[in-house]
Structure 1
Amino acid sequence: MFALADCNNFYASCERVFRPDLVGRPVVVLSNNDGCIIARSNEAKALGIGMGQPFYQVRPLIERGQVAVFSANFALYGDMSRRVMATLRALVPGIEVYSIDEAFFDLRGVDGPFDELGRSIGRTIRRNTGIPVSIGIAPTKTLAKIASKLAKQYPRLEGCCYMHRAEDIDKVLGCFPLRDVWGIGRRYGRMFDRMGLVTARQFVELPQEWVRARMGITGLRTWNELRGVECISFEQMPQRKQQITVSRSFPREIYTLEELERIVAEFASMCAEKLRAEHSVCREVQCYLLTNRHREEQPQRCVTGLSLIPDPTDSSLELVRQARIALRQIFQPGYGYKKAGVLLAQITPASELQGSLFTPAEHEKHARLMKVLDAVNKSCGKGRLVVAAQGTEPFRMNREHLSPRYTTDWRELLVVKATK
């Protein structure tokens, strides 16, 4: 049996842990620069607030005090996720972290009853972290995903849906939306819409040969998983990243190369830090720029620059230099750029890196320097030591509704005041 633990309305739930007065009230969380809504509590969903809806459209509700709004506090959410996963890891033999708010765990060899075990795990996570969790248990990962959604929808399940009997699975697939099945996606969803297929059972009833011909091995894997045949294995070790990217939208349009170079340098440095955390190196750096597509009266542009590195590296100095080279390839004056990003590709493990007679002499010097840079920033605070090209002022987003970093910054710890 496989199980999936899925945190309910995770970003909103993280804010509520430290603001219990918001329990039962509508809560929304905004994207970078407070642009649009990326998370909603159930109460906010009931008001008709949509995922991805622009913030300005819900301002009247907020001004009337009907909705609590928060800027995205990723430092808080990331730490709360680690706490949830640490609690789960202590309760089961092994977990596979799927996303910031989801993790699979393997129940093979574990004694039942599984429904009570799932509820016990959910209660323990809620007690230890304050985060509500829905747990789905089923013979395959794809069915466990569906079961976790049912656990969210039906309070009578008390946070856990154990879906294992063939007749129960068939009944669920008969009414479960096909577009919501893990692995279907938008492209296949549109294809099935044209065919008039709307439920997961209709998909399962398709001939195996048809699925393989139209959807390939990936679609066939989903088809088998829905039929109870395990095709997606359990991986305790996280998969090494194939790409690393950092991108941001700007509060205003940027027109100068000098300002963009500083921002791109900061993004490249952040990518390099993530790359070293993965114990990896890369040989390709991409930089991309986008104008504001919502301002149709202005000239539009969307371009990507590429810089290849002869000797794979994880050095912030080298990656910043390459990102700036890629930026200069694509920058053109006269455009107001609203978003930029840096992407690292062709990533390989650092342990597999082989030197050569042509390896730059400063390679070892950079490696020692990066160890010092990471150690200083870890002990003294993120961003204390930076590459000069980043400048002294870090890139700042519009985050007017940002909550404190209650669990990751000593200066923002929650203060409890005694009352008489």
Structure 2
Amino acid sequence: MLALVDCNACYASCEQIFRPDLRGKPIVVLSNNDGCIVTRNAQAKALGVPGLVPYFKIKPLLEHHQVHIFSSNYELYGDISARLMGLLATLGDRIEIYSIDEAFLELNGFSDVISHGQLIKKLAWQHQRMPVCVGIAETKTLAKLANHIAKKSNKLNGVCRVSNLHKWENVFKKIAVDKVWGVGSRLAKRLNLFKIYSVHDLKRQPPKRIRKEFGVTLERTVLELNEVPCFDLETQPQPKKEVFCSRSFSKKITSKQAIKESVAHYANRAAEKLRQQNGLTKRIYVTIQTSRYSDHPYSNSVTLPLPYPTNDSRIIISTATEASDSLFREGYGYARAGVGLLELTNSKYYQNDFFQSDSERSVKLMTMIDQMNKRYGHGSVFFARQGIKRGWSMARSFKSPAYTTRISDLPVVKI
């Protein structure tokens, strides 16, 4: 038996933890550079606030309804998520952290899974002030579907168990097929051509026919909808095959120095992610580009090999900034840059080259930098090539304090 625990409007709920005065009030959270709305709580949705639309287009609507606006505070969200996942790990046999706001739990040792689901919901609120819904079923796909039903039904009090599937047929007929885990809007349109409109329609399809027309992944989804487990819990996250770090600038960049600083910054961030999965890279990809809507758009990229596999930020930054020199053209206002690390291998299985005399020193230095940034806060130690002022950094005009990761931002209680 599996349970999917999903936070309700996670980013907005994180903002309410240290602002209890905002509970029950409409909240939206914006994307990078305060571009689009990425999260709306239930109160904002009830006002007709759409999601994934540019902020400037609906700013008058938000002001009219006095909607509270926040920039994405990834430091806060990541820390709250880590605390919540640590709690959930104690409430099941095994856990798969699926995303920042979702986790699958194995509940084989619990006789009354609905009561346990209510306990999970209660403890998540009691310990982290995070509202969650819990979907329980025999397979991952059905657990995701049960969670969707739990969010939509007030009668279930946030916990839904899907079993005895014949009893759920009328419910499945009312749920669109694009609500099934792994079925996006494009795939749903293809399924519609085969007169498959609802969860019930997909569930009834012969698996072999689905495999022939749509592939093995959707065939497994159909099997899972019929309580045949096909997707196992992944208790250890799979290492990424590529690592990218790419951001839009808060303003247009025209100088080569600013471009080199931004590329160095993204290269270092990508190298940090690479070390987290004990990886090494053999090839670096660098890109810079103007806005696609500019009068004379310009975009260019280059991929460069490294002399040997590495995760040393110094080598990755040096290679990436040199690459940006060849990409830069005068007279353009650049809107975005990015760095990708390709052809990844695991450091455990790599044999050092005879001429890599500093490999041990490199490992010690990178380990020390990572440990210091973990202890004293991300970015406490950085490379000079990343720049000091960084006027191009991501704009977050409505960012809340780093309540849990910065001492100066700790809430003050006055008695």
TM-score, reference length from structure 2: 0.95
Aligned to 1:338: 335
- Superposition deviation, residue 310 in structure 1: 3.5
CA distance in 2, matches of 1:230, 1:388: 51
Give 1:303-342 correspondences, 5 Å limit. 303-342=300-339
Aligned to 1:355: 352
1:288 matched to 2:290 = no
Stretches of 4+ moved more than 6 A in 1? none
- Superposition deviation, residue 329 in structure 1: 4.2
Aligned to 1:391: 387
Aligned to 1:207: 206
CA distance in 2, matches of 1:55, 1:408: 28
Residue number among 395, 403, 411 corresponding to 1:414 in the alignment = 411
Alignment deviations for residues 352-380 of structure 1 (CA, whole Å, 9 cap, x no partner) = 111233x4333333222212322333344
Aligned to 1:401: 398
2:226 counterpart letter in structure 1: R
Q: 1:382–1:207: structure 2 CA closer, same or farther, 3 Å change rule?
A: closer
1:332 counterpart letter in structure 2: R
CA contact (8 A) 2:377 2:406 kept: no
CA contact (8 A) 1:289 1:340 kept: yes
Aligned to 2:167: 168
CA contact (8 A) 2:110 2:116 kept: no
CA distance in 2, matches of 1:135, 1:146: 10
Alignment deviations for residues 243-285 of structure 1 (CA, whole Å, 9 cap, x no partner) = 2222211122222322111101001111111222222222222
1:134 matched to 2:140 = no
1:19 counterpart letter in structure 2: R
Q: 1:326–1:171: structure 2 CA closer, same or farther, 3 Å change rule?
A: farther
- Superposition deviation, residue 350 in structure 1: 1.4
Q: What SS class does the counterpart of residue 356 from structure 2 fall into? A: coil
Aligned to 2:26: 26
CA contact (8 A) 1:307 1:325 kept: no
Alignment deviations for residues 280-316 of structure 1 (CA, whole Å, 9 cap, x no partner) = 2222221222321344xx1123433212224111100
Q: What SS class does the counterpart of residue 360 from structure 1 fall into? A: coil
Aligned to 2:3: 3
Alignment deviations for residues 171-230 of structure 1 (CA, whole Å, 9 cap, x no partner) = 332221111211122331221234443212212233333211122111111111112110
Alignment deviations for residues 131-163 of structure 1 (CA, whole Å, 9 cap, x no partner) = 001000011100100100111111211111011
Structure 2 unaligned blocks of 5 or more: none
CA distance in 2, matches of 1:133, 1:304: 42
CA contact (8 A) 1:285 1:326 kept: no
Q: CA RMSD, aligned part only?
A: 1.8
Q: 1:141–1:380: structure 2 CA closer, same or farther, 3 Å change rule?
A: closer
2:112 counterpart letter in structure 1: P
Q: 1:65–1:208: structure 2 CA closer, same or farther, 3 Å change rule?
A: closer
Aligned to 1:378: 374
CA distance in 2, matches of 1:127, 1:404: 22
1:368 matched to 2:367 = no
Q: What SS class does the counterpart of residue 245 from structure 2 fall into? A: strand
- Superposition deviation, residue 324 in structure 1: 2.0
- Superposition deviation, residue 85 in structure 1: 0.5
Aligned to 1:47: 47
CA distance in 1, matches of 2:224, 2:332: 49
Structure 1 unaligned blocks of 5 or more: none
Q: What SS class does the counterpart of residue 135 from structure 1 fall into? A: strand
Q: What SS class does the counterpart of residue 86 from structure 2 fall into? A: helix
2:163 counterpart letter in structure 1: H
CA distance in 1, matches of 2:301, 2:164: 51
Q: What SS class does the counterpart of residue 354 from structure 1 fall into? A: coil
CA contact (8 A) 1:81 1:101 kept: yes
CA distance in 2, matches of 1:83, 1:381: 17
2:408 counterpart letter in structure 1: R
Q: Identity, % of aligned pairs? A: 37
1:221 counterpart letter in structure 2: R
CA distance in 1, matches of 2:44, 2:293: 26
- Superposition deviation, residue 57 in structure 1: 2.0
Give 1:217-236 correspondences, 5 Å limit. 217-236=216-235
Stretch moving more, 148-157 or 271-280: 271-280
2:92 counterpart letter in structure 1: V
Give 1:60-139 correspondences, 5 Å limit. 60-64=60-64, 66-108=66-108, 110-139=109-138
Q: What SS class does the counterpart of residue 370 from structure 1 fall into? A: helix
Q: 1:196–1:335: structure 2 CA closer, same or farther, 3 Å change rule?
A: farther
CA distance in 2, matches of 1:89, 1:263: 38
1:225 counterpart letter in structure 2: E
| Matched positions, count | 414
